[in-house]
Structure 1
Amino acid sequence: MKIIALKYLLKSVPMRKVLLITLGMSAFLFASSQAQNISLAPDNVIPYQVTVAQSDYKGKNALALQMPKTAINEKTFALLKNIDFHNGIIEATISGQPQMNAGGGARGFVGIAFRVSKDTSKMELFYIRPTNGRANDQVRRNHSTQYVSLPGYPWERSRAETPEKYEAYADMMPAEWIRVKIEVKDETAKFYINGAEQPTLIVNDLKQGKNLRGSVGLWIGPETLGYFTDVSIKKLD
C-alpha cells in the first residue's frame, strides 16, 4: 500500500515542482555543510575580561587580545556574536606569547572556546602553551596542548586526577602563527595542529555533555598577548 501511495503522489505532482523541491533541498543541505568565514573586528565580538584591538600582525589582519591583571576567573575571551554551534568544525590561525614583564609561569596561553552557553557559565576549551613546544624540559613539552571544561574541570584538576589524558605534545613556537582545527561530534572533540592529518589531542568525554551548544570564543590565559585570524566555522547538525 505504501508503494502504491508513493507512486500516486509522484504522478500527482508535476515534474517541475518535484525538480524545484529537490534542487531546493540539495541547496539547503549544501549550504548547511559549508564553512562560514568569520569577519573578525572589535565590533563583532563581546569581550569578557580582555581588551580587543584590530592589528596587522605578521602580514595578517588580526584581533589582538590582552588580559588585565584584574581578571577573576578563566572566562577570558572575546565571544563571537550571532554564533550557535553544537557539532561541526572550527578552524583558526592563532598566535600566543607572554606579555612584556610577564612572570616565569607565563606560557603564551591561547586557544578556542566552543559551545559557550548564553550566560557564559559553561564552555569547552582547547588551548596551547606555545613556549612549551620546544622547551628543553620534556615534561613541559608534554603540556603543549590542553583541554579544559568549565565549570568544574580546570587544568589543575585534570592533571592531578587523570595525568596525560587531557594534555599532549605538539611542535610550536611563541609569537608565530599556528593553525588549529577542532572537530566536535556529541561527546567527542579532536584537536589538530598545523594541518596534521592526525589529531594531537582526542577527548571522548566532553565534560559538559553532548547537548551543550553555544557560541565560539577567542580565548587567552594569564599574562598573554594573543592574536587571532582566519576563523571559520562549519556546522554539521
Structure 2
Amino acid sequence: MTDSNIVTLPLDELPDGASLKSVIAQPSEIAGRAALRVELTKEASGGVPGVDYIDQPTFVLLPVEFENGVIEVDVLSRLAAGAPDYARAFAGIAYRITDDLRRFESLYVRPLNGARLNPPGPRMNRGLQYFAYPEWDFERLREEYPDGRYEARADIGPDEWIQLRVEVQDRNLRVMINGGQVLSLDGTKSAPIRGQVGLWVDIGTEAFFSNLSVTAL
C-alpha cells in the first residue's frame, strides 16, 4: 500500500483476505517471474456451460474495493490440459463484484485469438472481450452488436506476459494492452456500483497473474 487510494499486490502468493470462487490458486513461477497460478476447479470445468463456466463468477476474489479508477495487472495464459476445442486461454480482470456475486463486469484476453498468431476469419478481432454479468455475456453482446464493439483486436499470444490496463469512469471504459489502446467504450452494460476486484479465468485455461495495481478515483 503506497497511498490511501492505491493498492498494489505482487501476487507472488494468495493475498490475505482473498477467496476462491470456482477456481484454484497457488503460488508459482513462470517465465522468470513469481506469480499466482489460477484455473477452474474440476467441478466447475465439468459443469454446465453458462451456469458453471463461460462468463460466470469464476475468479479469485480480492479484498480490494473499486468503483471508478484504474486496474493494472500482468497476465500470462495458455490452454490447460484437456481444454475444449473452443478454448482460447481466457483470462482477465473482474471488477465491481457485489458481495452476493450476482453482478460484476469483466475484461479478458483470448491469447489464441491474438493477432500475432494470425487466426482465421473473425477471430482476429476477438483478442479482447468485455462482458457484464449476469445479463450481458459475450454471446448476447456478439448477437445484439454485430459490429463487435465489445470486442477488440489485440497483438498478443499465449505463453507471454501481457500488460493489461483497465480505466473505468462510470459507464466509460478504456483498455490498454502492452501500452497501446485496444478498446474504448462510452456505454458499458452495467450501472456503476462499488464492489471488489477479481482475477478471472474461464474454461480450459491455465492463467498466471502478477503485479496488480488498483487506483481508486
Distance 1:87 1:43, change over 3 A: closer
2:65 match: secondary structure: coil
CA distance in 2, matches of 1:31, 1:113: 22
- Equivalent position of 1:15 in the other structure: none
- Equivalent position of 2:38 in the other structure: 65
- Equivalent position of 2:183 in the other structure: 201
Q: Which whole-Å deviations, capped at 9, do the CAs of 1:98-131 have from their partners, x for residues lacking one?
A: 1123221110000000111111110010001001
Deviation at 1:213, TM superposition (A): 1.2
- Equivalent position of 2:149 in the other structure: 165
Q: Which whole-Å deviations, capped at 9, do the CAs of 1:158-216 have from their partners, x for residues lacking one?
A: 000102110010100101110000001111111110011xx211222222202x11110
CA distance in 2, matches of 1:130, 1:178: 9
The partner residue of 1:223 within 198, 201, 204 is 204
Unaligned runs of 5+ in 1: 1-29
- Equivalent position of 1:101 in the other structure: 82
- Equivalent position of 1:77 in the other structure: 59
Residue correspondences, number: 202
Higher strand fraction (1 or 2):
2
The partner residue of 2:112 within 131, 135, 138 is 131
- Equivalent position of 1:181 in the other structure: 165
CA distance in 2, matches of 1:91, 1:43: 16
* Structure 1 position 146 matched with structure 2 position 129: yes
CA distance in 1, matches of 2:21, 2:185: 26
The residue type equivalent to 1:135 in the other structure is N
- Equivalent position of 2:14 in the other structure: 42
Give me the TM-score of the superposition, normalised by structure 1: 0.81
CA distance in 2, matches of 1:146, 1:103: 19
CA distance in 2, matches of 1:141, 1:117: 33
Aligned Cα root-mean-square deviation (Å): 1.5
Deviation at 1:70, TM superposition (A): 2.3
- Equivalent position of 2:26 in the other structure: 53
- Given that 2:9 and 2:15 are in contact with CA atoms closer than 8 Å, whether structure 1 keeps it comes out as no
- Given that 1:124 and 1:206 are in contact with CA atoms closer than 8 Å, whether structure 2 keeps it comes out as no
Give me the TM-score of the superposition, normalised by structure 2: 0.88
- Given that 2:15 and 2:62 are in contact with CA atoms closer than 8 Å, whether structure 1 keeps it comes out as no
CA distance in 1, matches of 2:164, 2:134: 24
2:89 match: secondary structure: coil
2:94 match: secondary structure: strand
CA distance in 2, matches of 1:144, 1:39: 25
Kindly report which structure 2 residues correspond to 1:13-32, keeping only aligned pairs within 5 A, or say none. Answer: 31-32=3-4
- Equivalent position of 1:155 in the other structure: 138
Higher helix fraction (1 or 2):
1
Deviation at 1:231, TM superposition (A): 0.3
